[in-house]
Amino acid sequence: MKIFVCIKQVPDTETKIKLKPDGSGVDFAGVKWVMNPYDEFAVEEAIKTREAGKATNVTVLSVGPKTRIVETLRTAMAMGADDAIAIDAADDLDSISTARALAAAIKAEGEYGMVLTGKLAIDDNAASVGQMVAEFLNIPHATVVSKIELADSATVERETEGGTKEILELKKPMLIAANKGLNMPRYASLPGIMKAKKKPIKELTLDGLGVTATATRVKHVAYQLPAEKPPVKMLDGDFSAQAKTLAQLLRSEAKVL
């Protein structure tokens, strides 16, 4: 069984966000880019499945500026993926065009048993590309998955609202979107990093895949950063005095009472 893992490159969570002077969007100059954290669980699950003898090859693929996303693809291969596909596209490609490109690239590679993704990307929180890829591939899918048992089919456990669990059985080929808790992603070792430099990366384009980029955008007036929070005010005195002062402040300053 061959496994494909769709990964996305996103800004590091510790990156300080700066806006463009006209407020039209985020200024990405100087931003550190990393693999989407939820996609790390997908990569780890694919590698574990291959190591257990239930898969023969793990291919990671990503859509974005090829000069940039190659770094994240190399990270996935340093973790243990066998090869990679870089689909060159603008960094603001919308979800449906991204899904079409990923699905077209997977179809072009031939037979496969499983596609893995993260449940969402932390930059836009759209949580839609995985489901779209499954639709374009015409395969069953499950998202927010925290447990997988793989045999002739896959039995997956997914989280639903209210803290309950849902158990689903999926036939191959299938798409599974990983949630936190599915596994513990490994670090890329030094030998893995050295090996990753020699592993192949296939470069594709949207035109070569027969995909036309669309321009779905959210209409907005201007982006702005949230206002700075006021300094914390410490209350003196015993509990009784603090409670009295707090009530006065909530009434006179916060105006919530």
Closest to 175 in 3D by CA, of 99, 116, 118: 116
Q: Where are the domains of the chain?
A: 2-205, 228-257
pLDDT on residue 218 = 64
CA dist., res. 158 & res. 172, Å (int):
18
Topology of the domain comprising 2-205: Rossmann fold (3.40.50)
Query: Looking at residues 140-163, what average pLDDT do you find?
Result: 89
CA dist., res. 76 & res. 41, Å (int):
11
pLDDT on residue 8 = 94
Query: Looking at residues 218-238, what average pLDDT do you find?
Result: 79
Q: Where are the alpha helices (DSSP H) in the chain?
A: 37-51, 66-79, 95-108, 129-137, 190-196, 239-252
User: Mean pLDDT across the chain, nearest whole number?
Assistant: 90
Residue 195 CA to chain centroid, in angstroms? 24
pLDDT on residue 126 = 87
pLDDT on residue 74 = 94
pLDDT on residue 252 = 87
Q: 83-115: per-residue pLDDT in tens?
A: 999 999 988 888 999 999 999 999 999 999 999
pLDDT cut 90: percent of the chain above it: 60
The token duo for 117 is 């993704």
pLDDT on residue 70 = 94
Closest to 79 in 3D by CA, of 116, 106, 131, 110: 116
pLDDT on residue 228 = 83
Report the chain's terminal Cα–Cα distance, integer Å. 62
Residue 234 C-beta-side C-alpha neighbours within 13 Å: 2
